[in-house]
């Protein structure tokens, strides 16, 4: 990162020494996981560049946006309706963290046997090494898992937090509750930004977010190609960047990449040679820079063709209905789209099982690797139902429970055993 950014980071209140330590680790890790791959699509260069500037140029854009009177709003979950943030003249940034930072500090507030994603998210805040959270005017949380709910209370002592009450079922009463929470968020964002969310601003924001999700869906469709034309690691990186990049620019770049991939398919130009087992990873999100499992699977000789997770299809699967023209109708459409998300915090969650079986068929998957973050109750417990459904469908599943530590060697042994079985 250029030296010019140091002043900006200092003004954001960051701990520059601790941040330097983080910046020393990330580039070599990125090189190992991404740049070492052969035959990558040329258009991945944009996403490599975004990553190289993830704490630089993008933060500069956030700072400039705030100087021009805009707001920056942080989110921790795919239920946060980014259309509303955009309609209020805001920039939405994803804050879930995927690396172990300041674990001892975090454990002064949180129990040790808690999901690493939550511990890490607090660790980044306590260590003052995340310029995204330090740029935020407001953080949005949702009542999803218990860990996150209680984490937001702690975070609320450090920064303004708005918690949306997310129902845990999907009946009419639950929908009404969620709809009222969407309305409450509108009020909070209007107060914060001093800008009214109206038909024009919301309609534009819905279109922008839909286009982004459509571009990601187009990319996902192209991953049905056999052999694959893009690695699972690259697709994961794109899905991770989706939460933080400028949505219009990002959409354009994903579509340019898709154009290139379509040409590659027409030319029979694939990556990694033929006949590799096709893997779907399923379960807990992999927040930046958590690439461990994807790296292990693909360097063991398999290809990841789908991520059934929030850093994957759960983020972009459904669109907001663009037909309503009045504000209340638009808010209904936004609420309905987000309530379709099939996170394991819902009960019952039969939709997720159906979706998994559909993906296994559509992507001609040879095996599923279930990614469970340690102490994540919703996903570790729901693994039972997923396993049962996959057993009935004759689909092998490897259950991997892990955290942000280095257990790559052990995971690789188990992944290789799975691949031997399906080859």
Residue closer to ligand SF4, measured from CB, 342 or 366: 342
Pick out residues in 365-394 that bind ligand SF4 (CB under 6 A): 373, 376, 378-379
How far is the C-alpha of 269 from the C-alpha of 191, rounded, in Å? Answer: 52
Q: Does 140 bind ligand SF4 (CB under 6 A)?
A: no
Pick out residues in 284-323 that bind ligand SF4 (CB under 6 A): 284-285, 310
Q: Give the binding range for ligand SF4 (CB under 6 A) out of 72-80, 226-234, 326-334, 404-412.
A: 72-80
Q: Does 77 bind ligand SF4 (CB under 6 A)?
A: yes
Residue closer to ligand SF4, measured from CB, 293 or 341: 341
- Whole-Å CA distances, 256 to 198, 205, 249, 305: 32, 22, 11, 20
Residue closer to ligand SF4, measured from CB, 138 or 257: 138
How far is the C-alpha of 206 from the C-alpha of 82, rounded, in Å? Answer: 9
Q: Give the binding range for ligand SF4 (CB under 6 A) out of 87-95, 111-119, 191-199, 299-307.
A: 111-119
CB of 138: closest distance to ligand SF4 in angstroms?
18
The residue among 346, 236, 358, 215 whose CA lies nearest residue 290 is 236
How far is the C-alpha of 276 from the C-alpha of 265, rounded, in Å? Answer: 17
Strands 367-373 vs 161-164: parallel, antiparallel or unpaired: unpaired
The tokens for 342 are 């099939």
Residue closer to ligand SF4, measured from CB, 145 or 205: 145
Q: Does 103 bind ligand SF4 (CB under 6 A)?
A: no
Burial zone of 226 (CB within 10 Å; 0-12 exposed, 13-18 middle, 19+ buried): middle
Residue closer to ligand SF4, measured from CB, 14 or 77: 77
Cis peptide before 178 (omega within 30 of 0): no
Q: Does 147 bind ligand SF4 (CB under 6 A)?
A: yes
**The one among 43, 148, 212, 292 contacting ligand SF4 by CB under 6 A:** 148
CB of 423: closest distance to ligand SF4 in angstroms?
31
Q: Give the binding range for ligand SF4 (CB under 6 A) out of 10-18, 140-148, 262-270, 400-408.
A: 140-148
Residue closer to ligand SF4, measured from CB, 270 or 380: 380
Q: Does 115 bind ligand SF4 (CB under 6 A)?
A: yes
Q: Does 79 bind ligand SF4 (CB under 6 A)?
A: yes
Phi, psi of 280 (to 5 degrees): -110, 130
**The one among 127, 192, 341, 415 contacting ligand SF4 by CB under 6 A:** 341
DSSP secondary structure code for residue 90 in this structure: E
Q: Is 192 helix (H, G, I), strand (E, B) or coil?
A: helix
Strands 138-142 vs 71-75: parallel, antiparallel or unpaired: parallel
Residue closer to ligand SF4, measured from CB, 294 or 373: 373
Phi, psi of 229 (to 5 degrees): -110, -5
Q: Does 236 bind ligand SF4 (CB under 6 A)?
A: no
Residue closer to ligand SF4, measured from CB, 327 or 356: 356
Q: Are 378 and 143 in contact (CB under 8 A)?
A: no
**The one among 86, 117, 294, 331 contacting ligand SF4 by CB under 6 A:** 117
Q: Does 118 bind ligand SF4 (CB under 6 A)?
A: yes
The tokens for 307 are 């991520």
Residues in the interface with ligand SF4 (CB under 6 A) total 20
**Contacts of residue 301, Cβ cutoff 8 Å, sequence gap at least 6:** 276, 277, 419
Q: Are 222 and 230 in contact (CB under 8 A)?
A: yes
CB of 106: closest distance to ligand SF4 in angstroms?
13
Q: Does 202 bind ligand SF4 (CB under 6 A)?
A: no
**The one among 1, 41, 73, 78 contacting ligand SF4 by CB under 6 A:** 78
Residue with tokens 């507030």: 109
Residue closer to ligand SF4, measured from CB, 276 or 317: 317
How far is the C-alpha of 62 from the C-alpha of 94, rounded, in Å? Answer: 13
**Three-state SS across 344-363?**
CCCCCCHHHHHHHHHHHHHC
Q: Are 387 and 381 in contact (CB under 8 A)?
A: no
CB of 341: closest distance to ligand SF4 in angstroms?
6
Which residue ranges make up the site for ligand SF4 (CB under 6 A)? 77-79, 115, 117-118, 144-145, 147-148, 284-285, 310, 341, 343, 345, 373, 376, 378-379
């Amino acid at each position: 990162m250029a030296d010019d950014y140091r002043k900006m980071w200092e003004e954001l209140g960051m701990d520059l020494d601790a941040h330097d330590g983080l910046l020393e680790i990330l580039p070599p890790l990125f090189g190992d996981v991404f740049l070492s791959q052969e035959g990558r699509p040329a258009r991945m260069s944009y996403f490599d560049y975004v990553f190289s500037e993830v704490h630089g140029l993008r933060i500069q854009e956030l700072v400039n946006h705030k100087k021009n009177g805009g707001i920056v709003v942080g989110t921790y979950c795919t239920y946060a309706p980014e259309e509303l943030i955009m309609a209020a003249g805001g920039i939405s940034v994803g804050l879930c963290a995927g690396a172990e930072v300041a674990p001892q500090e975090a454990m002064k507030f949180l129990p040790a046997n808690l999901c690493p994603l939550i511990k890490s998210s607090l660790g980044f805040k306590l260590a003052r090494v995340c310029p995204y959270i330090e740029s935020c005017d407001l953080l949005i949380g949702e009542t999803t898992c218990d860990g996150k709910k209680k984490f937001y209370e702690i975070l609320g002592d450090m920064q303004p937090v708005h918690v949306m009450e997310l129902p845990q079922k999907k009946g009419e009463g639950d929908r009404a509750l969620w709809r009222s929470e969407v309305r409450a968020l509108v009020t909070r964002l209007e107060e914060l930004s001093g800008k009214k969310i109206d038909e024009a601003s919301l309609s534009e924001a819905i279109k922008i977010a839909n286009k982004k999700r459509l571009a990601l869906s187009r990319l996902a469709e192209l991953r049905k190609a056999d052999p694959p034309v893009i690695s699972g690691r690259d697709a994961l990186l794109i899905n991770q960047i989706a939460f933080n990049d400028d949505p219009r620019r990002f959409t354009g770049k994903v579509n340019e990449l898709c154009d290139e991939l379509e040409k590659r398919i027409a030319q029979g130009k694939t990556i990694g040679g033929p006949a590799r087992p096709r893997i779907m990873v399923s379960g807990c999100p992999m927040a930046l820079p958590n690439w461990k499992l994807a790296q292990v699977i693909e360097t063991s000789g398999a290809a990841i063709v789908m991520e059934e997770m929030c850093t994957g299809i759960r983020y972009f699967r459904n669109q907001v209905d663009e037909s309503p023209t009045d504000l209340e109708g638009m808010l209904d459409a936004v609420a309905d789209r987000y309530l379709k998300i099939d996170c394991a915090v819902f009960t019952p969650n039969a939709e997720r099982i159906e979706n998994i079986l559909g993906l296994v068929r559509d992507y001609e998957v040879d095996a599923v690797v279930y990614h469970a973050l340690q102490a994540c109750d919703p996903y570790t417990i729901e693994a039972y139902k997923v396993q049962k459904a996959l057993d009935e469908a004759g689909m092998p599943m490897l259950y991997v429970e892990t955290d942000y530590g280095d257990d790559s060697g052990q995971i690789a042994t188990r992944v290789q055993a799975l691949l031997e079985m399906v080859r």
